[in-house]
Structure 1
Amino acid sequence: MADVSRLPAALVAHWDWQRHAACRDMDLEIFFHPDGERDPSRAQRVARAKAICAGCPVMAACRSWAHQVEEPYGIWGGEGEDERRALLRRRRSAHPVPAA
């Protein structure tokens, strides 16, 4: 089962930005990789998704959301999975959790 403990409360204010997203009603396969996808197909799909994000009026809110919930999959706010993972590693190394 998914860990939803990091998710904010279900308030309209937390989700309203999505109504204005450039990707709304688009095929999700652009933003989430299919099983077995490899380069150069992956690089082309990621570039296409990031190009859509670049013109999105809510790109900053989308990216912030992905950081807040530590979204592990897909392109969010113009960032890919590897970029978010690297950011999360940097954050955790800068602020290590004390051992219990």
Structure 2
Amino acid sequence: MTDVSRLPGPMAEAWEWQYDGACRELDTEMFFHPEGERGSTRRRRAAAAKAVCATCPVLDQCREYALSSQEPYGIWGGMTEEERRELTRSGARRIS
């Protein structure tokens, strides 16, 4: 018989929050900028994505995931890649 005591436990709890995300049924292009997107076009897309995040019941879990995993791309938890990098660099973990 195989010894499973060293295997990781169930992981569903770690990811189930994603089922409740306000972004779940939306186009991912809203949250991830296309190559070369700059200026006002990028700011408008990011603002629209952040508006969705502002209504999200799992905003905190999403943000915590993105910060702890150092997610390199996209809007996660209402934050852009740049905002997450800056927050991580500054040593802070919570924004008011």
TM-score, normalised with respect to structure 1: 0.79
Corresponding residue for residue 85 of structure 1 = 85
| 1:21 and 2:15 correspond | no
Q: 1:33-44 counterparts in 2 under 5 A?
A: 33-44=33-44
| 1:75 and 2:78 correspond | no
Q: C-alpha distance in 2, partners of 1:24/1:77?
A: 13
In structure 2, give the amino acid aligned to 1:36: G
Q: Percent identity?
A: 52
CA offset digits 1:14-37 (Å, max 9, x no partner): 110000000002100000000110
CA spacing shift, 1:45–1:10, aligned 2, 3 Å: farther
Q: C-alpha distance in 1, partners of 2:10/2:22?
A: 22
Alpha-carbon offset, residue 10 of structure 1: 7.0
- Of the two, which has the highest radius of gyration? 2
CA spacing shift, 1:28–1:10, aligned 2, 3 Å: farther
Q: Which runs of 4+ in 1 moved over 3 A?
A: none
TM-score, normalised with respect to structure 2: 0.82
Q: CA RMSD in A?
A: 1.6
Q: C-alpha distance in 1, partners of 2:50/2:75?
A: 7
CA offset digits 1:35-60 (Å, max 9, x no partner): 11011100000000000000000000
Q: C-alpha distance in 2, partners of 1:19/1:45?
A: 23
